[in-house]
Amino acid sequence: MSTEVKAPEGVKLPIYMDNHATTPLDPRVLEAMLPYFGAKFGNAASRNHSFGWEAEEAVEQAREQIAKLIGATAKEIIFTSGATESNNLAIKGVAEMYREKGNHIITCATEHKAVLDTCKRLEKYGYRVTYLPPGKDGLIDLDDLKRAMDDKTILVTIMAANNEIGVLQPIEQIGALCKERGVLFHTDAVQAVGKVPIDVNKINASLLSLSGHKIYGPKGVGALYVRRKNPRVQLTALIDGGGHERGMRSGTLNVPGIVGLGKACEIAMNDMAEESKRLTALRDRLKNKILAELDEIQVNGNMEHHLPGNLNMSFLYVEGESLLMGIHEIAVSSGSACTSATLEPSYVLKALGLGDDVAHSSIRFGIGRFNTEAEIDYVANKMVDVVKKLRELSPLYEMVREGIDLSKIEWQAEGH
Amino acid sequence: MAYSDKVLDHYSHPRNVGSMDKNDPNVGTGMVGAPECGDVMKLQVKVDEATGIIADAKFKTFGCGSAIASSSLATEWLKGKTVDEALAIKNTDIVNELSLPPVKIHCSVLAEDAIKAAIGDYKKKQGAHKPAGETVAS
């Protein structure tokens, strides 16, 4: 679509609004990391000279910063290469360690692939996995969870915040239920940490995964919280070697990355309250501006229990990829099949009971620390403009306007 | 995904967008695809009764940029052709003209199907419309 909506002064294109995929590095984080790429190059495991001590000190400071953000103690933080590894270590590590106790794991259909595919692999090794279906609003039903638990259940793994639809699962209640039943509770908190308050004791988490690059830190570094008491959680390591990280994760520590992750957590800790207010206001501004101008919009996911910066909308009767083409100077994501490698529409939206057609029409906005109100206004105007133009092109929108029920039509679909 | 300049041009300036009266006996309407597959094309042709030549063509498409471009291009090509010439348009012609990548070939297939459906609808209407025994060609 030709661009009739011009960027106002002060808005620089392209605009990055895909902060669930990754976040830009905060300049304060970069500054903290830089010395560890240079003069402070020591190996944190070198115990007999100042280079090693310097690196170790930096790593321990980062451990404190991370622990503080989630209400843990420093000794409970294990460094990893990112949340995919953290999730793998948590789930496979528990599965192997507690094999004699049971072989049943409970998760949710809308988890990240790092959790779902890990569970699927365990199924091949004889574990049983229950995939709880979420409700239409994306939240799991605690009664479903209760019913799914049996005497062989060793682990419940439910994410804190969903990466596509931004809903916050009732992790406090889930944790309480797990504690009551003596089941370990892991939460993939990648999208939630640093965005909403999380306290591992309040939510009774046994394990918690987090990542650097979702909180304005560097890529390639993450952490796994592993509870040390009430009860102590044990893991079988995935990576064997020098016995780093109390034997749970061998491999020389990524000192610059860890320093960056620590700094990112410290900033999040200080800024979270204010930042979440600001992002919620920006999110609502974007939503309201779009809803004021366009009909036939569906907002996906429970908006009450929601991440501040997330907005997932289906622009009905407009296909997602063509929408992205029209707003190519704005970086967002779509649930459309055409934008995915598998040519399948978003499994998260489908798990909510949305039809493929609604999933095809969805856009995920991920508003972050560096987005401005002027950018929000530009994005809202641009969305309205492009959707209106594409709807002029849409035979479906035309039919709906004429009062035709699309569900009653026999479509001549190809095999695809 | 990188789009060819021609796809971008059709997407930014789609040709012949619109709808014609589907009850007009000289208008043939084809609608192919399905919303759950992510693409639906509606293509219409209006045939000049006297000459048998497609005088006008219109489309509306729900789908990706390549689907929009394929149907937009189809309407351009249809105008001025006879019904039989129109049926000779192949999806590979569209693929070549728009430099569609392999994952987008189904868009061109859909456009060919839409052309065939529109012409088929026109022929059906003409058959029902004309008194028995009369031949369309002269």
Q: Please answer whether residues A62 and A76 qualify as being in contact, where contact means their C-beta atoms are separated by less than 8 angstroms.
A: no
Chain A residues touching B61 at Cβ < 8 A = 393-395
Neighbouring CB atoms inside 10 A of A148's CB total 16
Chain A residues touching B68 at Cβ < 8 A = 322, 393
Q: Please answer whether residues A222 and A245 qualify as being in contact, where contact means their C-beta atoms are separated by less than 8 angstroms.
A: no
Q: How confident is the model at residue A253 (pLDDT cuts 50, 70, 90)?
A: very high
Task: Say if strands A128-132 and A153-157 run parallel, antiparallel, or are unpaired.
Answer: unpaired
Interface contact A319-B42, CB threshold 8 A: no
The answer, for B118 touching chain A at a CB cutoff of 8 Å, is: no
Average pLDDT over residues A28-56: 97
3-state secondary structure of B30: strand
Neighbouring CB atoms inside 10 A of A13's CB total 11
**Which pLDDT value is given to residue A411?**
84
What ipTM does this complex have?
Answer: 0.90
**Which pLDDT value is given to residue A357?**
86
- Whether A191 shows a pLDDT value over 80: the answer reads yes
Strand pairing partners for B31?
B42
pLDDT above 70 covers a percentage of chain B that reads 92
R_g of chain A, CA atoms, integer Å: 23
3-state secondary structure of B42: strand
DSSP character at residue B4? P
Q: Share the mean pLDDT of chain A.
A: 95
Q: pLDDT tens digit string along A101-122?
A: 999 999 999 999 999 999 999 9
Q: How confident is the model at residue B128 (pLDDT cuts 50, 70, 90)?
A: confident
Interface test with A, best of B12, B36, B44 (most A CBs within 10 A): B36
- Whether B122 shows a pLDDT value over 70: the answer reads yes
**Which pLDDT value is given to residue A40?**
97
Least reliable range by pLDDT among A332-341, B88-97, B117-126: A332-341
Cα–Cα nearest to B46, from B93, B85, B91, B80: B80
Chain B residues touching A412 at Cβ < 8 A = 31-34, 113, 117
Q: Please answer whether residues B43 and A354 qualify as being in contact, where contact means their C-beta atoms are separated by less than 8 angstroms.
A: no
Chain A residues touching B12 at Cβ < 8 A = 1-2
Q: pLDDT tens digit string along A268-324?
A: 999 999 999 999 999 999 999 999 999 999 999 999 999 999 999 999 999 988 999
Q: How confident is the model at residue A408 (pLDDT cuts 50, 70, 90)?
A: confident
Average pLDDT over residues A186-190: 98
Q: How confident is the model at residue A343 (pLDDT cuts 50, 70, 90)?
A: low
- Whether A415 shows a pLDDT value over 70: the answer reads no
- Whether B137 shows a pLDDT value over 60: the answer reads no
Largest separation between any pair of C-alpha atoms in chain A: 79
Average pLDDT over residues A218-247: 96
> What does residue A178 show for φ and ψ, rounded to 5 degrees?
-65, -40
Q: Which residues of A touch B (CB under 8 A)?
A: 1-2, 317-322, 325-326, 336-338, 343, 345, 355-357, 360, 392-398, 406, 411-414, 416
- Whether A123 shows a pLDDT value over 80: the answer reads yes
Cα–Cα nearest to A212, from A38, A69, A340: A69
Q: How confident is the model at residue B1 (pLDDT cuts 50, 70, 90)?
A: low
Q: How confident is the model at residue A413 (pLDDT cuts 50, 70, 90)?
A: low
R_g of chain B, CA atoms, integer Å: 15
Query: Cα dist. B88→B15, B55, B110, B115, B116 in Å?
Result: 21, 17, 15, 10, 9
Least reliable range by pLDDT among A61-65, A252-256, A336-340: A336-340
Residue in B33, B35, B64 nearest the CB of A321? B64
Distance from CA of B131 to the nearest CA of A (A): 30
**Which pLDDT value is given to residue B127?**
85
Give dist(CA A338, CA A322) in Å, integer.
Answer: 9
Average pLDDT over residues A72-98: 98
Task: Please tell me the pTM assigned to this model.
Answer: 0.92
Distance from CA of A332 to the nearest CA of B (A): 14
Cα–Cα nearest to B40, from B114, B97, B116: B114
Give dist(CA A94, CA A205) in Å, integer.
Answer: 14
**Which pLDDT value is given to residue A237?**
96
Side by side, the strands of the sheet bearing B54-62 are B27-34, B39-47, B54-62
- Whether A3 shows a pLDDT value over 60: the answer reads no
Average pLDDT over residues B46-64: 95
> What does residue A35 show for φ and ψ, rounded to 5 degrees?
-60, -25
Q: How confident is the model at residue B134 (pLDDT cuts 50, 70, 90)?
A: very low
The catalytic site residues of B sit at 37, 107
The answer, for B38 touching chain A at a CB cutoff of 8 Å, is: yes
Query: What is the identity of the amino acid at A145?
Result: L
**Which pLDDT value is given to residue A286?**
98
3-state secondary structure of B110: helix
**Which pLDDT value is given to residue B51?**
93
- Whether A342 shows a pLDDT value over 70: the answer reads no
DSSP character at residue B84? H
Residues 2-21 of B with CB under 8 A from A: 3, 8, 11-14, 17, 19
Average pLDDT over residues B92-106: 94
Q: What is the 3-state secondary structure (H, E, C) of chain A?
A: CCCCCCCCCCCCCCEECECCCCCCCCHHHHHHHHHHHCCCCCCCCCCCCHHHHHHHHHHHHHHHHHHHHHCCCHHHEEEECCHHHHHHHHHHHHHHHCCCCCCEEEEECCCCHHHHHHHHHHHHCCCEEEEECCCCCCCCCHHHHHHHCCCCEEEEECCCECCCCCEECCHHHHHHHHHHHCCEEEEECCCCCCCCCCCCCCCCCCEEEEECCCCCCCCCCEEEEECCCCCCCCCCCCCCCCCCHHHCCCCCCCHHHHHHHHHHHHHHHHHHHHHHHHHHHHHHHHHHHHHHHCCCEEECCCCCCECCCEEEEEECCCCHHHHHHHCCCEECEECCHHHCCCCCCCHHHHHCCCCHHHHHCEEEEECCCCCCHHHHHHHHHHHHHHHHHHHHHCHHHHHHHCCCCHHHCCCECCCC
Average pLDDT over residues A40-47: 96
Query: Cα dist. A59→A41, A150, A243, B86, B114 in Å?
Result: 12, 40, 16, 71, 63
Chain B residues touching A357 at Cβ < 8 A = 35-36, 38
- Whether B133 shows a pLDDT value over 50: the answer reads no
